[in-house]
Each structure stands twice: as C-alpha cells, then as structure tokens.
Amino acid sequence: SAIKAFQIGNSLEPIDGIASPKLLISLQRRVSLSKDKIDFSSMKLMGTGSGFLVNKGGFVVTNAHVIENCDAVSTAKDSLYITSKVDVENDVAILQSSKLKGYKPISISDEDPVLGQKIYPSGYPLYSTLSNLNFTSGTVSSEVGFRSNTNNFQMTAPIQPGNSGGPILNDLGGL
C-alpha cells in the first residue's frame, strides 16, 4: 500500500504496488532533492560514539553497540546516516552518508597489530563535554582480547566513553 501511495502521489503508472526500476529512480530523486531538515527536538540522545570513513562511497564503520537502540544516527543536526549492515556478534556497524561521498577514506593496514607496537586511537569521547577530536597514544599490550578473543587486541592507550567505533592507527597511519 505504501508503494501504491507513492505511485499515486507521483503520478507513476501503472499503479500496481510493485517496486519497479522506474519507481526506485523516482523515489531516489525525491529523497535526494528533499531539503527538509530533520527535527531532532522530539528525539532523546541515546549516546555518542566515533567512526571512520572506509571508502569514497560515504561508508563509515563504527561499533554496533554505538548505534544500538537508536532510531536515528547523525553527526550533524541536518544529516542522517543510513544503517547498511550491523554485525552484533563482532560489534561492527556500517553506516552511509551521502554527504561524505568523494572524501578520502582511511587506509587499512595489511598487517595485524603486534605486541609492543605503537598505536594511536582517535575519536570523540565525552562529546557533550569535549566536543572535539581526541587523539591518544599507547602500545599493543596483548595480541588477543578478553577471554583470548583473537578478533581483538589489548592496548595501553587511554580512551573514554564515546571513543567506541573510532579508528586505531598504527605508526604508518594505517587502520
């Protein structure tokens, strides 16, 4: 019924409720031309976190727990992110923003972190207090995470709430 309503509202024939290429193109144009501002006044801030751009298509990676229970994800009051994929088990979420298309993404290292390696976490911790990028340093203190989880590692760098989802760079600037 929503597709039929869109077809009627935009004079798209036939009015059959089927998602055709013509309908999808019309919908995409309608959304991209929309100048409506998002009204955040009725929404409650659930939390803050960080993320990083991984390709020129505007895709951003963060932690799944950063966006958990959120109705909207934004970095600015006039820009929403679209949630593309969420992997709760690995605590990863992929978001997309059309406003980030074409920006240079972070380079991803081919090497895993090694014990004693210098690392540099960055992010936006305590956003309501600090409201700017925080860049710290430390070393890899274990090549495995909590309960011998080989998907994680441990580090000595200080981080605070809100750093979640932010990149950890090596000494060559790679993720």
32 flagged as catalytic: no
Residue 91 catalytic? yes
Among the listed residues 74, 91, 137, 142, the single catalytic one is 91
How many Cα atoms within 13 Å fall on the side-chain side of residue 65?
A: 9
Which of 152, 115, 157 minimizes the C-alpha distance to 136? 157
Catalytic-residue membership of 164: yes
Catalytic residue among 65, 74, 137, 142: 65
Selected catalytic residue, list 50, 97, 122, 164? 164
Tokens of 59: 């895709």
Residue 105 in contact with residue 53, Cβ under 8 Å? yes
- Helix (H/G/I), strand (E/B), else coil: 50: coil
Closest alpha carbon to 123 in 62, 56, 58, 40:
62
Determine the Cα–Cα distance for residues 42 and 53; give it in Å rounded to an integer: 29
Residue type, 119: I
Please give the positions annotated as active site.
65, 91, 164
